[in-house]
A = this chain, B = another copy of it.
Amino acid sequence: MYNYKMFLAYDGTKYLGWQVQTTQPLKTIQGKLENVLSQLFDEPVQVIASGRTDAGVHARMQVANFHTTTSKSCDEILAYLRDYLPQDIAVIQLKEASERFHARYNCLTKRYAYYIDTNFSANPFFTRYSYHIPETLDIAKMEAAAHHLLGTHDFKSFTSMKNKKKSTIKHIHSITIESAPCGLVIYYHGNGFLQHMVRILTGTLLEVGLGHIQPSDVIGILEGKSRALAGPTSPSHGLFLEEVLY
């Protein structure tokens, strides 16, 4: 068996997310990749990502791997992918990996970015890539709230995950808020993120930034361990998977 590791970027606007849906596999990123790679290798190819991304979420740098029974040169695979993938999915780099490399199990940390357009009229070049909130946000308060979320916590209040057997304890290394061409961007770096976690964290930080809740309220939201306590789930189109670290 041969194992290939790839780095890819995609515009998630038109997709149902990363993971193959049984009814509409070609409306997923995984489905598109598996379809093209299975044609090239003339055998069923399964692609494993570092983690799934939701419908509409973008990736500036996702990592995935796939096994094949025959070997082809990386240049040949890259050229075939470029020619047959739609223009909203791009494989940027591809290399042979050790047989044991697994994009999901071996992932150590991930970086996400959430873009917010604070202009009065939304910037036409960022409407597909940011959440438009034409308000003045109190960045200092948002940073104070973010500080309470750092470290190891039970993030049960910040996920819509229904599976009660799976642990909701995660570690957030950093949350930073920076200015961006569209307005601002919130970067998240952690050892893993639960379903909708980055979007609910963002929705909660925005509640703080808008003055609806106080930074210290975040402590009670964490301790309450109930989804109902946290802010709304921010829309998917502002979210980018930025980097996956191994």
B-contact bits for A105-139, CB 8 A (1 contact / 0 none):
00000000000000111111101010000000000
Once the chains bind, are A88 and B11 in contact (CB under 8 Å)? no
Question: In this complex, what residue of B is CB-closest to A86?
Answer: B124
Contact residues in B for A91 (Cβ distance below 8 Å): 121
Across the interface, A78 reaches (CB within 8 A) one of B88, B121, B125, namely: B121
| C-alpha gap A123/B88 in the complex (Å) | 8
- A124-B87 contact in complex given A92-B119, A119-B92, C-beta closer than 8 Å: yes
Contact residues in B for A10 (Cβ distance below 8 Å): 124
Contact residues in B for A60 (Cβ distance below 8 Å): 125
Judge whether A9 is part of the interface by a CB distance below 8 angstroms: yes
Task: Name the distance in Å between A120's Cβ and chain B's nearest Cβ.
Answer: 7
Once the chains bind, are A120 and B78 in contact (CB under 8 Å)? yes
Judge whether A47 is part of the interface by a CB distance below 8 angstroms: no
Once the chains bind, are A9 and B125 in contact (CB under 8 Å)? yes
Which residues 1-51 of A have a CB within 8 angstroms of B? 9-11
Which size class do A's interface residues fall under? Answer: 20 to 34
Task: Name the distance in Å between A234's Cβ and chain B's nearest Cβ.
Answer: 18
Once the chains bind, are A121 and B11 in contact (CB under 8 Å)? no
Judge whether A148 is part of the interface by a CB distance below 8 angstroms: no
Contact residues in B for A123 (Cβ distance below 8 Å): 9, 90
Once the chains bind, are A124 and B78 in contact (CB under 8 Å)? no
Once the chains bind, are A120 and B88 in contact (CB under 8 Å)? no
Judge whether A72 is part of the interface by a CB distance below 8 angstroms: no
Judge whether A184 is part of the interface by a CB distance below 8 angstroms: no
Task: Name the distance in Å between A235's Cβ and chain B's nearest Cβ.
Answer: 14
- A125-B92 contact in complex given A82-B120, A120-B82, C-beta closer than 8 Å: no
Judge whether A89 is part of the interface by a CB distance below 8 angstroms: yes
Judge whether A144 is part of the interface by a CB distance below 8 angstroms: no
Judge whether A81 is part of the interface by a CB distance below 8 angstroms: yes
Question: In this complex, what residue of B is CB-closest to A127?
Answer: B87
A residues contacting B by CB (< 8 A) are 9-11, 58, 60, 78, 81-82, 85, 87-92, 119-125, 127, 129
A-B contact pairs, 13 of them (CB 8 A): A9-B125, A10-B124, A60-B125, A78-B120, A78-B121, A82-B121, A85-B121, A87-B122, A88-B127, A89-B124, A91-B121, A92-B121, A125-B129
